[in-house]
Amino acid sequence: MSQKLKIMPYDKGFLALEEECSYEEAKVVIVPFGLESSVSYEGGTRNGPRAMIKASHQVELFDDEFWCEPFTSFPLCTLEEPSVSSKLNHEIDNLEAMIQQILDDGKFPMTFGGEHSITIGTIKPFARKYDDLVILHFDAHADLRDSYNNEPNSHASALRRCLDFEHIKLVSYGIRNISQSEIPFLEANSHRIKINWARTKSQWNLEEDLQWFEGKNVYLTFDVDGFDSSVMPATGTPEPGGLFWNDVLPIIKAVMSVSNVVGADINELAPKDGMHFCDFLAAKLAYKILSYKFCK
């Protein structure tokens, strides 16, 4: 194990588990990475990972859906959060190297952001490893701009940079903001991009969407502003008309049932004083994702 990957004390890490798990024993590695560089409205994403981990200490480990404590199926460890600067490209490269090492070690990385630009770094090792990669994407925004404010690695360009890899496909849920500049790329790549617009939620066809995922390797990226702003105001660009807990979980569960989810991230949590329910929502979402992945 590289000296750069330092592990938190197990009782301070994600879920505050009572038994120690070494890096070598872990199936899952939680990667806190509070990148905040290209945010365009409210800030605070640098504090997201810390808030998620703290809130996870209050998540009940028993899950009534699985009728067990799912964490026993996936030994995990949490990395100590590195010092993350505002140098966007430098930090994207640093995160890429961390994820590459975790993948090389045969483990499942789950990254807690930080702004959505983290996905530009996390996706690269997966793109190199898998030739049939599909991204499962929850978000309020399409994030298909080629650049934003003259920054090609902006959070507003996160999925566009992922699609620079021509073998990657994308299925998005909850989108309710897209710019005119993104439309030509979307239309030219309709064979590998499927957007489920939030306004048409009642018409979504999950069975049809599963054809995109069946038998494929899948990376899950979840921008918390995909949730409706009434349940997730603690994000840089909260948007009305979004998703709710019971909209999201059936999609994740169904995709997990037909595909091989190989990694995940949750991003854009910007904690606010007095709104710890948002931190808790993000932490419980992470636990559910891991439970669907490993607890059959």
- Phi first, then psi: give them for residue 63, nearest 5 degrees: -120, 120
Each residue's pLDDT tens digit, 83-124? 999 899 999 999 999 999 999 999 999 999 999 999 999 999
pLDDT at 59: 98
195-239 residue pLDDT tens: 999 999 999 999 999 999 999 999 999 999 999 999 999 999 999
Tens of pLDDT, residues 278-291: 999 999 999 999 99
Per-residue pLDDT, 153: 95
pLDDT at residue 43, rounded to an integer? 74
**8 A C-beta contact, residue 227 and residue 281:** yes
Domain boundaries, the chain: 14-294
Q: How confident is the model at residue 2 (pLDDT cuts 50, 70, 90)?
A: very low
- Please state whether the peptide bond connecting residue 114 to the residue before it is cis, i.e. omega within 30 degrees of 0: yes
Beta 76-78 vs 28-33: how paired, if at all? parallel
Q: What angle do CA 79, 113, 46 make, to 5 degrees?
A: 95
Q: Which CATH architecture has domain 14-294?
A: 3-Layer(aba) Sandwich (3.40)
Q: Is the pLDDT of residue 296 over 90?
A: no
23 and 5 in contact (C-beta within 8 Å)? yes
Which residue, 216, 5, 212, is CA-closest to 103?
5
Each residue's pLDDT tens digit, 125-151: 999 999 999 999 999 999 999 999 999
Bridge partners for 76 per DSSP:
28
Residue 266: helix, strand or coil by DSSP? strand
Do residues 73 and 295 lie in contact, with contact meaning Cβ atoms separated by under 8 Å? yes
